[in-house]
Structure 1
């Protein structure tokens, strides 16, 4: 009976055959958040699969149309490793530009929430100063925006609005993979608050 219980427990355990690192040198990074430090790493279950909304491959377009690689001239599109570097940089700001409901369903640790439809109203929080023609963001930090993935138009729309309001395009990065690719890679997801 004990052998059967052990065999069943082994079958139910996650497949931990090979360690899953972020890259060849790092298993994890730690980012500071208002709730304290959070370790970002990839899930260690070698048999894990993506489920739920982020596993969907086809949605009506519009609004779920494939987004361009670069949402505006001068903006840099980045991947996960560059985003992780920004999360470790105390001078950089990572922005979750999704709606409140999506943000509360889980976000990238260390990201702040600035919804796409109101982002230009919040540029003061990034160090921009109001001026007669919009905002003076010459002293604002480098930022990275993300939303739900390559089919999500929330962060591209927010980026174009920020540029239109005066945020320098060369200080904006676009994490096109968004939460769909973040989850696909098994990276840590934090509760959005």
Structure 2
């Protein structure tokens, strides 16, 4: 079943986020343990902070655009092209609870905790610790958005297992950006 962003319930957009990304004062972390980054401008010092917004799916800690050197970041148009042409497998690497609420239509589901054991679904042969990925396919990995660590963790596991990083593409915007853009989602996907 498909719905647009407006059809999603407020509960999806306001789901609680993990406490790990919030300090004792309830401020969202930017990176590491930093909740404030001070920059100098012509008018003096300015503190950059993060606040929870209605559009943010999770609090999380901001993830880099390139989680592993050699991985290519992509946006919505590249994801749509891959879905249309089959040039890459678009993989929802979130937990099942998140996927069933809303996902990108046509994506496959492999939770981030299982990716290193399931590289055969991307053209590798062998098994964990001894994969042969000489016939690896292009993969576009996504999770909840710029502050979600699930697909970056999976991408690191793929690289550790020998998956060629030039075949890994990272849609950092994930579900948060997909829904903010008003793109079609699928619900109740298992």
**Same fold per TM (> 0.5)?**
yes
Q: Does structure 1 retain, via aligned residues, the 8 Å contact 2:94–2:144?
A: yes
What TM-score, normalized by structure 1, do the two folds share? 0.69
**Map 1:17-32 → 2, pairs under 5 A:** none
Select 2:80's aligned residue among 77, 84, 106: 84
Find the partner of 1:117 among 105, 113, 118: 113
Alignment gaps of 5+ in structure 2 = 22-58
C-alpha RMSD of matched pairs (Å): 2.8
Alignment match of 1:171 (pick from 159, 164, 167)? 167
In the TM superposition, what is the alpha-carbon distance from 1:167 to its structure 2 partner? 0.7
Label 1:50 to 1:183 Cα distance change in 2 as closer, same or farther (>3 A).
Answer: farther
- Quote the offset at 1:137 in angstroms: 1.2
* 1:69 matches 2:68: no
In 1, are the aligned partners of 2:117 and 2:127 still within 8 Å (CA)?
no
Alignment of 1:9-158 (within 5 A): 51-54=10-13, 60-62=19-21, 64-130=60-126, 133-158=129-154
Displacement of 1:146 in angstroms is 0.2
TM-score, scaled to structure 2: 0.70
> 2-side partners of 1:132 and 1:98: how far apart?
20
Q: Is the 8 A contact 1:50 1:184 kept in 2?
A: no
How many residues get paired?
Answer: 152
Structure 1 unmatched runs, 5+: 1-34
